[in-house]
């Protein structure tokens, strides 16, 4: 039977989608397939009004099950069935559909009814009965928006008593959307009462804020300018424009949507000019009265703030204001940034280790790429570190930074001209929370050219490179380079690690590390590995990025460093020293090098399981291993594969990545005293997120905060 969690509530407005997303994230860290089941849905799956939470979870967690299997019945079907055959028959049908899905999934998340325009007489009791019939843990969510501490505490205790009296196994209680000022008091008063863990999540304005796309949809607006990224921006307020431009500009606030008649070209252009100057950045403009600006005005608007949405509605300001009243954001497949914020909120305020233990989840032996990524982020978040990103104006880096901050993975320093970075974030609609206090991860901007650290860094660099003839004057110029400045921050303990390479070459990224940070004790060379996330396991490939033709001693060093890196990230090291020959079947300089390197590894690290020389198929395929190297503890089970040279390693990792659909995470540099990692110049946003998380985990042995 699958481990199942039934998330439910006691009414509307509890924001339980945050909890549903958080529990799904937790389950997918431990199970290679998690099913999602919505017993009752308002419209037929796949049709208009499809359940937005199920669709979000389906897309985000790559659920490859037919959509109709994720639902029980529509409310209309349930009402008819209950009227004709009674509630027992209704429950029986829903249990049958749940069991059919459960049979395919080792873990299940059940989404309770939403208490919205339903004909279920007693939804709380109905949810409780379904949870009991499913054999699921119940996780009730109590909404605390606009409620005082006394009311929230009483509601949580009453809900616990209600579900317990109905025979439910309560996993935990969650009070959500409470006032931040009441959070600590509520948490303290709920300790021990009820007799299960109780978690308190504060109201998060970024989740309550609608996106521009939601505003467009709710008002029936026509989009004149803007791209998909602009439409995904959060609307943190509305500014209705009718005053003169100077007065109007003073009223603008960050993230606000401007609502003004379409014939006010001065306010349109003035708002976008302010946005372009980050004074302040707005989310978009909504033009009323159905008036479209002329082509010249729109053309200027598009050049001033590319991507910023401008839309027009037929009604006036009063009707538009009425349609926007009470509009709240919601988690959908089209709002990935909100999903990251929601997960960050959940993971910051919920003890996920305690929750996992209560569900009695044990990690699957099969490790999928998604599971590896989840565990990686969880490790980084557990002991938050500080990573410097030299490429602070690059779009992919900024988007990755937003994800890292929203998920509370690490603190960041972005290097570059602050004005340029702020303008870039405004253009992209990226929110790094630069001017807001936060209990989670934070970011700051440092300009190497203007930083007070430049002088001391120059003195340090000149001292380190004096044997190369570097003078103080030359050093002063060198350390203004973002790669050198970031590396010196790591060296001096002002950051725990550095990630670069999205636009810089590998040499530009790692040369400063060679000069300043240098190799770790016991490491002869700096090398690299890729984590190759296959469909059912994670392999470690080394060295595929740094050393062209290592000799036997260097190859042994690469093998030992790769095994240590593998162990650091939860991959049990079984090392295969690869060659075109297995065992004693071949000879020649290339094979002899691998044979000598294998002997050196055994001599230096007798505790490591290592085999070599060995061919790739014998290393990973138990059937081939049984024929070529019977009795080997590594053959057929290798997890760390060490290639004899860069040509072989680089081509192999790319072949496996492209042909087998593997996710390649890396390159991860190893052998340095402090972590610095290089990105591929084709790195995607998620690649950057993963590499920064790896760097943070590498730094957890010690360093700056």
208-219 confidence digits (pLDDT tens): 889 899 999 889
Q: Closest Cα partner for 236 from 209, 267, 213?
A: 209
Whole-number Å distance between alpha carbons of 615 and 582: 5
Whole-number Å distance between alpha carbons of 319 and 665: 51
The bridge status of strand 385-389 relative to strand 497-500 is: parallel
State the pTM of this model: 0.79
Whole-number Å distance between alpha carbons of 359 and 171: 7
Pull the structure tokens for residue 538: 């994670």
pLDDT tens per residue, range 361-393: 666 666 777 778 878 888 898 899 999 999 999
Question: Under a CB-based contact definition with an 8 Å cutoff, are residues 209 and 312 in contact?
Answer: no
Whole-number Å distance between alpha carbons of 371 and 62: 12
Domains of the chain: residue spans and CATH: 3-207 (3.40.50.300), 210-324 (3.40.1390.20), 367-518+676-705 (3.40.50.10950), 523-671 (3.40.50.10750)
pLDDT tens per residue, range 444-463: 999 999 999 999 999 999 98
76 or 202, higher pLDDT: 202
**Average of per-residue pLDDT values in the chain:** 88
Question: Under a CB-based contact definition with an 8 Å cutoff, are residues 579 and 590 in contact?
Answer: yes
Instruction: State percent of the chain over pLDDT 90.
Output: 47
State whether the Cα torsion 140-146-152-154 is positive or negative.
negative
Whole-number Å distance between alpha carbons of 665 and 652: 14
Confidence class for position 296, pLDDT limits 50, 70, 90: very high
Task: Identify each DSSP E strand in 289-407 by its residue range.
Answer: 310-312, 385-389
Whole-number Å distance between alpha carbons of 366 and 33: 10
113-117, 449-453, 502-506, range with the lowest pLDDT: 113-117
Whole-number Å distance between alpha carbons of 584 and 603: 19
Report, as an integer, the average pLDDT of 136-142.
93
The bridge status of strand 34-41 relative to strand 3-9 is: unpaired
pLDDT tens per residue, range 388-409: 999 999 999 999 999 999 898 9
User: Which residues share a beta bridge with 445?
Assistant: 414
- Tell me which residue has tokens 């499913």: 134
Residue 245's φ and ψ, nearest 5 degrees, are: -60, -45
pLDDT tens per residue, range 264-276: 999 999 999 988 8
- Tell me which residue has tokens 């009441």: 182
Q: What is the DSSP letter of 571?
A: P
Q: What is the DSSP letter of 519?
A: B
Which run of H or E residues covers position 646? Answer: helix 646-659
């Amino acid at each position: 039977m699958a481990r199942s969690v039934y998330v439910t509530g006691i009414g509307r407005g509890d924001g339980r989608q945050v909890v549903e997303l958080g529990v799904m994230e937790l389950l997918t860290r431990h199970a290679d397939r998690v099913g999602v089941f919505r017993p009752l849905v308002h419209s037929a799956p796949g049709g208009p009004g499809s359940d937005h939470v199920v669709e979000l979870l389906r897309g985000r967690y790559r659920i490859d099950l037919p959509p109709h299997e994720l639902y029980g019945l529509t409310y209309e079907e349930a009402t008819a069935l209950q009227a004709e055959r009674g509630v027992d028959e209704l429950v029986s049908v829903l249990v049958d559909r749940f069991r059919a899905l459960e049979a395919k999934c080792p873990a299940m998340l059940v989404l309770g009814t939403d208490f919205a325009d339903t004909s279920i007489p007693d939804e709380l009791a109905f949810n409780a009965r379904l949870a009991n019939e499913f054999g699921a843990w119940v996780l009730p969510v109590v909404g605390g928006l606009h409620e005082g501490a006394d009311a929230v505490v009483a509601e949580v205790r009453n809900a616990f008593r209600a579900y317990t009296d109905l025979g439910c196994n309560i996993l935990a209680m969650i009070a959500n959307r409470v006032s931040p000022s009441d959070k600590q008091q509520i948490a303290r008063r709920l300790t021990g009462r009820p007799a299960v863990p109780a978690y308190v999540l504060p109201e998060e304005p970024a989740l309550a804020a609608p996106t521009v796309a939601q505003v467009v949809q709710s008002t029936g607006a026509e989009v004149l300018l803007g791209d998909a990224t602009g439409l995904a921006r959060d609307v943190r307020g509305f500014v209705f424009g009718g005053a003169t431009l100077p007065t109007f500009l003073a009223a603008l606030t960050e993230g606000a949507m401007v609502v003004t008649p379409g014939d006010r070209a001065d306010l349109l252009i003035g708002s976008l000019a302010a946005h372009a100057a980050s004074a302040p950045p707005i989310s978009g403009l909504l033009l009323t009265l159905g008036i479209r600006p002329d082509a010249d005005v729109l053309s200027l608007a598009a050049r001033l703030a590319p991507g910023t949405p401008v839309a027009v509605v037929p009604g006036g300001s009063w009707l538009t204001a009425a349609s926007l009243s009470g509009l709240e954001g919601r988690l959908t497949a089209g709002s990935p940034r909100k999903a990251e914020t929601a997960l960050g909120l959940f993971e910051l305020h919920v003890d996920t280790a305690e929750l996992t233990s209560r569900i009695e989840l044990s990690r699957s032996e099969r490790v999928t790429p998604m599971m590896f990524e989840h565990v990686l982020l969880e490790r980084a978040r557990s002991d938050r570190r500080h990573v410097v990103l030299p490429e602070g104006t690059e779009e992919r880096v900024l988007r990755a930074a937003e994800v890292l901050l929203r998920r509370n993975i690490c603190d960041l320093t972005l290097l570059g001209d602050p004005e340029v970075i702020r303008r870039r974030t405004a253009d992209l609609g990226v929110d790094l929370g630069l001017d807001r206090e936060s209990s989670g991860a934070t970011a700051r901007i440092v300009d190497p050219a203007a930083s007070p650290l430049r002088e001391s860094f120059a003195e340090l660099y000149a001292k380190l490179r004096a044997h190369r003839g570097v003078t103080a004057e030359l050093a002063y110029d060198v350390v203004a380079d973002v790669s050198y400045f970031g590396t010196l921050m790591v060296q001096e303990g002002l950051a725990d690690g550095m990630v670069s390479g999205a636009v810089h070459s590998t040499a530009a990224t790692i040369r400063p590390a060679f000069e300043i940070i240098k190799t770790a004790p016991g490491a002869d060379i700096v090398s690299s590995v890729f984590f190759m996330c296959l469909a059912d396991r994670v392999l470690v490939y080394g060295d595929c990025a740094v050393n062209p033709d290592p000799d036997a001693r260097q190859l042994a060093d690469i093998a030992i460093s790769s095994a240590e890196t593998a162990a650091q990230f939860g991959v049990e090291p079984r090392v295969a020293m690869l060659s075109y020959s297995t065992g004693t079947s071949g000879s020649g300089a290339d094979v002899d090098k691998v044979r000598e390197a294998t002997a050196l590894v055994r001599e230096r690290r007798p505790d490591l399981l290592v085999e070599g020389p060995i061919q790739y198929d014998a290393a990973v395929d138990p059937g081939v291993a049984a024929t070529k190297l019977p009795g080997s503890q590594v053959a057929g089970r290798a997890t760390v594969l060490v290639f004899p040279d860069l040509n072989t390693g680089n081509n192999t990792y790319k072949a496996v990545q492209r042909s087998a659909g593997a996710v390649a995470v890396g390159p991860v540099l190893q052998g340095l005293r402090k972590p610095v990692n290089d990105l591929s110049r084709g790195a995607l946003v998620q690649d950057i997120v993963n590499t920064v998380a790896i760097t943070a985990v590498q730094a957890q042995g010690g360093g700056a905060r």
